[in-house]
Each structure stands twice: as C-alpha cells, then as structure tokens.
Structure 1
Amino acid sequence: MSMQSFEKLGQEARALASGTSSKVIPIVPVSNMTQAEGEVARVMQICNACRYCEGFCAVFPAMTRRLEFLKADVNYLANLCHNCGACLHACQYAPPHEFGINIPKAMAEVRGQTYVDYAWPPALGKLYQRNGLTLSLALVAALSLFLVLGAVLQGDGLGALWGADLGANFYSLFPHNMLVSMFAPVFLFVVFALFMGVRRFWKDIKPATSGADVSGAAATEATGDVLRLKYLDGGHGDGCHNEDDAYTLKRRRAHHLTFYGFLLCFAATSVATLYHYVFGLEAPYDLPSLPKIFGGVGGVMLSLGTARLWMLNRSRHPLHGDPKQKPMDLGFIALLFLVATSGLALWLGRGTPALALLLCLHLGAVMALFVTLPYGKFAHGIFRTAALLRHNTEKRQPNPIGLGAD
C-alpha cells in the first residue's frame, strides 16, 4: 500500500473511532477484483496495522510480508486460511464494531470463488454453486437406481436383487472388467481436472509468493502441516472455535478421522488393484488381507469423522465462514458418510440375500462422490496444500519489506 493510501486508511479509521463517520472503511478499489476479494484486501490492510493475531496461523506472517494485497495475494491468503475462527473471536474490530472485521467469512467467500474461477473445464465451474446436499443425495439415488436396473436387465429379473446365488462375490453381479470400465475413466478425469485447476492457481500465485521454486525443506514442512492439520490448533494448541468462543479440538479430531479414514479406504482400493493385476489374487478378500484391514479400519474412521463433522457444521457459529457454501459442505460430508457406511454394510452383508442391493447402493455412492470431486468441497484440500507449499517456500526467502514475522 502507498503511504498516501495508508494515511487515508488511518484517517478513515480515526473518524470511525471518534464517531464522526457513519461509514465503514471502504473496500479497496482494485479494478480486477471482485467485491469478495476487495473485502479481503480491506480487512488485511487493517489487520496489517494491528497485528494482534500475528501468531495465530500462516495467514498472518504471510500478511506481514505485504504492503499491498492484489488479486493473486488475496487468492493465496484465502486458501491459506483454515477457517478456525480464532482471529474472529480475538479481534477487537469484529462485528458489531464499525470496521466489521470478519476474516473467516471474507476468506471463505474468496475460497469459494477461487474454486469456481480455477475449475477445469471452466464451463463446469458453476457446479460448485449447485453442488448441495439435495443434489448429492439425488445423484446417489439416481446412480444406485441405474445400477439396480442394470442388475435386473442382465440377471434373472427382480430375483437378481434379493436372494440371488452370488456366492458372496459381487463380481458375480457386476464383472470386474465392467466395473473398471465404469470407474476408471471417471477417476482419470477427476485427477486431470483437479490437476489442471491447481496448476492454473499455482501459476497465478507463484509470482506473488516470491517466485522461488519449492525446496525439499519447504515441501517437507508443508507436508507435515497438512498431515497434522497444524493450523486447526488456534495458534496455541488448544484448538479452534465452533459454536461459540470456547476453544475446542473437536473439529481437528473430526478432520483427522475423516482425512485418514479416506486415505485408508483409498489405500484398500489401491492394494486390491495390485493384488488383482500384479499377484493374480481376485476379490473378494477376507481378513487378515491388507485390503480388508485398510478398508474396515478406514470405513469406521470415515464414518465417525463425517458424522462428527456433520454435527459440528450444523452447530457452527453463524459468523464463521460463508453460509452460501454450507449446502456444498454438507453434500460432501454426506457423500463421504454414505460411501463409508454402505461399504461397511456391504462387507457385513456379503453373505446375505441383500448383497445385490447393498452393492448397488455402495457403487452409486462411490460414483456420485467421484463425479462431484472436482466441483465440490474436496477441492479445498488440493488448493490449501498448494497454498501451504507456497507459504513454506515464501517464508524461506528474504522479506521484501523487512517488517514481517518470519
């Protein structure tokens, strides 16, 4: 920020503090910014003068390396924010103060915008705004029904759905090659779409974050930050906030259960693929095989984690985050929960007459999750990881203004 702009900001702040002005500090007028991005630039300029929350999370030391907050800086900082809420409850300028500083809400609005802006292909970016709970559940129902019809048409009519002699093997209903032909193209598209989106994001924020390449040390530290969910500790280890100003580790623990449960389920599928194609061992697998151990433990963790996240999301403080994104959040949580619980039910009901119906429900939930991954809340983990990589790279470079906290 120029000295003239900073002085003008100070004059407006003093006017507000003295009661001689009825206006809040205006959104920074940058032509290529949206209103949400301008709001983040505004609150960051005020926070940069205060710095009370300097040690709370990665956003604030990154903030102190800047005097101006342009579009790339704002998008970077928004994805660096973990929405823990600690800064909102610590801020003396938070609502109902005239300054109206609400960093969690401002950052969340920009994060949602970046998911749309960087979606690939761009025409599908609007799906983020429609990917709610109702759509997610409707997609599961539609895909499950499609699989049910497929089972009826290729089997013995309705008898294929209940009590059919499948030998406790779901490949008797849907052959392995058929499942691969259904899921492999969708999975490859998901990976490519997410890669293309985060590639564009990286290209835009790299010049604004020192431009240096990621070193081994920076990558190692960023990986540790991701795996430990470091910035959900509120900056002091006591946790962040949820329904009030009390510190809690509930959100961090629920995220850990969900994150590692998902990874274990993915590991189960990956190991099963190796078993099938490398070792010639075909499903179904029983204990103590690795696919069954990983899948069982991961399914339980994912079920517990998502159930807890659902309750925490429903009770979250209304000033935390962007209310418009709640349907997308709940839709993603619901899909993960359905994938986990239907998978566990399929395992437990493999030898029962309900095998076919349980299989259709589970495959429908998995397919719905895959289809929505590039255009739902899953993307936040990818973009946040990229932002943490840039943060751990940037902070190892000389501070351009010599006033930062690094």
Structure 2
Amino acid sequence: MQTLQSLTEDAKALANGLPVAAARSPAKVIPIQVISAKDEVARALQICNACRYCEGFCAVFPAMTRRLEFGTADVHYLANLCHNCGACLHACQYAPPHEFAVNIPKAMAEVRGKTYADYAWPPALGSLYQRNGLTLSLALVAALTLFLVLAVVLQGNGLAALWGADLGGNFYRLFPHNLLVGMFAPVFLFVVFALFMGVRRFWTEIKPATSGVDVGSAAAAEATSDVLRLKYLDGGHGQGCNNEDDAYTQQRRRCHHLTFYGFMLCFAATGLATVYHYVFGWAAPYDLPSLPKILGAVGGVSLMLGTAGLWRLNFKRHPQHGDARQKPMDLGFIALLFVVSASGLALWLGRGTPALALLLCLHLGAVMALFATLPYGKFAHGVFRSAALLRHNTEKRQPNPIGLGAD
C-alpha cells in the first residue's frame, strides 16, 4: 500500500516534471487510513495539482493552482469553497478504486463539517453540529409545539381553547403580536450574532492565506452573483452536477434555488409585515392581495417544493459524494424548513377553521426549533461558503504567486 509520504512526493515530482521513482523516500511511513481529514485534503490536492484535469470545473481548482502547499487555513478555505457538486469525483482517474483513492467531495465535506464546529460561537456549543440530526430536530418541534399547546390550554378554557375557539380568524387573539416579538426577537438576534462571530473567526484565519487584500467592489459584486446563481453547481460546463451517478442533472441546483429564494421571500414577508405594523400602524394579520401575504405564499410554496426535492435527492445521492456522518444534520435542516413552510401555509388556509389554535402552535413550534438550531446546523454552510467566495473573487484578482494557475 502506498503511503502519504510517497503519494505526496509522487505528486510533487509530477508537478516538477521529474520521474516518480526519483521522488520516492522510505522515511516516515504514515498509513493513509489514519491521517486526519485536513491532511487527507492536502494529500489529495497535491495529486490534483500535478494532474489539473478538473481545473475548469469550479472555483476550488483555480484556487488550488495558486498553491504548492496546503496549510490549515488553505484547507479550510478550499473546503468551504467546494460546493460538493461531485463532478470532479466522476472525472478523476485517481478516484477509488485507484490506489491513490482521491475523493475530493468526501474529503472536503469532512473538513467542512469540522470547520463549522471549530468556528462555532460560543465555542462550547460547537459539539451541537454533531448532535443536530433529524431525530433531534423533529423532537424539538414536537416539544416546543407541546409546550405551546399546554400554554394555550392552561391559560384558556381547557381543550376548548385549543380546538374550536372563536378567534375570528385572527391568531393574534391567542398570542398577541408583542408577545411573539418578545419571544422571537432575542433568539433571532442571538442567531445573527453567533453566525457573525463564527464567520469572523473563519475570515480572520483565511484572509492572510488568500492574498490578504481587502474585498473590492468588483470582487463583492462577482461573489454575490456566484451566490445568487449557485454558479458552481453547474459542474463547470453548465449541464449541472452529479447526484446518484455520473449523469449530469440540474435538479440539485433548481431545488437549492427554490429553497433559498423561498426562504428569502418568507423572510422578506416577515420583515415587511414588521414595517407595516410599527411604521404605518397597519395591524396584522394581512390577507391577499397585500404584499406580505403574496411574498409569504409564494415563498412558502417555493420552500416546500425545494425542500421536498432536496430530501428526495439526498436519499439518492452517491455514497462517495460526501460525509455520511453529516447526513442526519442535512436531513434535520431540510425537514425543519419543510415543516415551517408546510405549517405556515396550513395555518393560512385553516385560519377560519376550528384547528386554528392547534395549527398556530405547530407553526410557532417549528419556527422556534429552526431558530434554535440555525447557528449550529446546515444553515451555516451558506454563510461560510459566501465568505469563501468573497475571498476567492478577491484573491483571483491578484497576481498568481507561482505563475502556474488558470486565473
């Protein structure tokens, strides 16, 4: 079996045009199967740097060609720049079962998951990334829903307050607007602050390794475009990425778009409703054709369709495309988004039915569970990846330090 030492030396020899055998050294033998995820990425990228067949696939490989060695900051940066499209795995001549066993998507996913935990704020809560799975997410929804149900029953007329209460279609008679703001605003502010602190630590580490230059307006505009278009889920050729096999598909990109823009429309609906309430004095609830209701309805349907598609694709995904240990976290986040959107639409459609109170408790429980897990779940990948794209679009505008890259 080849070792980390020999593989690294082989890749360096190939990169310098030397015979492979001349670079071999028997010293310091380290079995591949026991090296860390970070070292595995560095090993694989040394081989990729000698081959460069995938140089035009995504942002990772042009960024890779600007480096001859891969320190911790470089690996963390490249791992979060990777969109896990899977194209490089199916194109690689050194992928398993080759003895080099190069699997960039899997290695990058393992490092990416570790960076979320390592950069979490507060640091003590970083371990929540490993525990934030499907079962925990759904259990949290059930627990918070039950808590709200009990609150309604105890504060009202028993079960009559939960089913069939005459609320006139206005759920604010059950939970006043200011009470809901008092419940959710502190959690939302904590989520924003925790994610900001985490990505700031990530940025501080990778900035010196990515030219050290501050982000310019052109780089920021291009990075924003890359994020909004999900540019790097096109497989490098516009045909889409891989999912269960080596066939290209646009399904993952489309489902991600439905999910992302659905979430943003729902967020915009909530934000606009806040402006209506506090600035213009227009009390909720709102109905069609009001703008908050239109944004919320379109966003809710989009979010439901997107998460349902991602759920199906996740179960069909090629097992070599990522880190299997993170699958419960992925599914937990998808499930939470689906339950939030489905319960929100059900609450709107059932506003004039006896089930209004129960639907409201379910929706609020799901939203609370989503908020509570946002800083320590799959949501973080979008924040870290956007930061990595900002650094990539800044770095590529600088002279290549080794003069060998595609930039």
2:170 is matched with 169
Q: Structure 2 regions of 5+ residues with no counterpart?
A: 1-7
Matches within 5 A, 1:251-400: 251-400=252-401
Q: In structure 2, how many angstroms separate the alpha carbons of the residues matched to 1:28 and 1:273?
A: 54
SS at match of 2:169: coil
The 1:8–1:255 alpha-carbon spacing in structure 2 relative to 1, beyond 3 Å, is closer
Q: Quick one: which amino acid aligns to residue 141 of structure 2? A: V
1:80 is matched with 81
- Note the alpha carbon deviations across 1:15-65, whole angstroms, 9 max, x for none: 6xx9xx9xx996699xxxx70000000000000000000000000000000
1:129 is matched with 130
Q: Contact between 1:13 and 1:25, CA under 8 Å: does it hold in 2? A: no
Aligned residues: CA RMSD: 2.0
Q: In structure 1, how many angstroms separate the alpha carbons of the residues matched to 2:163 and 2:326?
A: 39
2:205 is matched with 204
Q: Contact between 1:82 and 1:232, CA under 8 Å: does it hold in 2? A: yes
- Note the alpha carbon deviations across 1:258-292, whole angstroms, 9 max, x for none: 00000000000000000000000111101111110
Q: In structure 1, how many angstroms separate the alpha carbons of the residues matched to 2:287 and 2:362?
A: 21
Q: In structure 1, how many angstroms separate the alpha carbons of the residues matched to 2:288 and 2:252?
A: 32
The 1:163–1:396 alpha-carbon spacing in structure 2 relative to 1, beyond 3 Å, is same
Q: In structure 1, how many angstroms separate the alpha carbons of the residues matched to 2:275 and 2:73?
A: 42
SS at match of 1:365: helix
Q: In structure 2, how many angstroms separate the alpha carbons of the residues matched to 1:158 and 1:288?
A: 34
SS at match of 2:248: coil
The 1:13–1:371 alpha-carbon spacing in structure 2 relative to 1, beyond 3 Å, is farther
1:403 is matched with 404
The 1:192–1:13 alpha-carbon spacing in structure 2 relative to 1, beyond 3 Å, is farther
2:56 paired with 1:59: no
The CA deviation at 1:121 is 0.2
The CA deviation at 1:8 is 7.9
Q: In structure 1, how many angstroms separate the alpha carbons of the residues matched to 2:145 and 2:311?
A: 23
The CA deviation at 1:128 is 0.2
2:4 is matched with none
Q: Quick one: which amino acid aligns to residue 247 of structure 2? A: A
Q: In structure 1, how many angstroms separate the alpha carbons of the residues matched to 2:395 and 2:331?
A: 34
The CA deviation at 1:117 is 0.2
Q: In structure 1, how many angstroms separate the alpha carbons of the residues matched to 2:50 and 2:282?
A: 63
Q: Contact between 1:28 and 1:42, CA under 8 Å: does it hold in 2? A: no
Q: Quick one: which amino acid aligns to residue 247 of structure 1? A: Y
SS at match of 1:399: coil
Q: In structure 2, how many angstroms separate the alpha carbons of the residues matched to 1:121 and 1:398?
A: 37
2:77 paired with 1:45: no
Q: Structure 1 regions of 5+ residues with no counterpart?
A: none
Q: Contact between 1:28 and 1:39, CA under 8 Å: does it hold in 2? A: no
The CA deviation at 1:153 is 1.4
Q: In structure 2, how many angstroms separate the alpha carbons of the residues matched to 1:130 and 1:7?
A: 39
The 1:108–1:134 alpha-carbon spacing in structure 2 relative to 1, beyond 3 Å, is same
SS at match of 1:212: coil
SS at match of 1:287: coil
2:186 paired with 1:185: yes
1:242 is matched with 243
SS at match of 1:200: helix
Q: Contact between 2:144 and 2:365, CA under 8 Å: does it hold in 1? A: yes
2:157 is matched with 156
**Normalization by structure 1: what TM-score?**
0.94
SS at match of 1:194: helix
The 1:97–1:341 alpha-carbon spacing in structure 2 relative to 1, beyond 3 Å, is same
Q: In structure 2, how many angstroms separate the alpha carbons of the residues matched to 1:399 and 1:101?
A: 26
Name which of structure 1's ranges 151-160 and 6-15 shifts more when overlaid on structure 2.
Answer: 6-15
- Note the alpha carbon deviations across 1:331-372, whole angstroms, 9 max, x for none: 000000000000000000000000000000000000000000
Q: Contact between 1:27 and 1:38, CA under 8 Å: does it hold in 2? A: no
SS at match of 2:398: coil
- Note the alpha carbon deviations across 1:365-405, whole angstroms, 9 max, x for none: 00000000000000000000000000000000111111111
- Note the alpha carbon deviations across 1:90-126, whole angstroms, 9 max, x for none: 0000000000000000000000000000000000000
The CA deviation at 1:293 is 0.2
**Normalization by structure 2: what TM-score?**
0.94
What is the aligned length? 393
The CA deviation at 1:10 is 3.9
Q: In structure 2, how many angstroms separate the alpha carbons of the residues matched to 1:115 and 1:334?
A: 20
Q: In structure 2, how many angstroms separate the alpha carbons of the residues matched to 1:262 and 1:280?
A: 26
The CA deviation at 1:324 is 0.3
1:114 is matched with 115
Matches within 5 A, 1:7-26: 10=13, 14=20
Q: In structure 2, how many angstroms separate the alpha carbons of the residues matched to 1:8 and 1:231?
A: 26
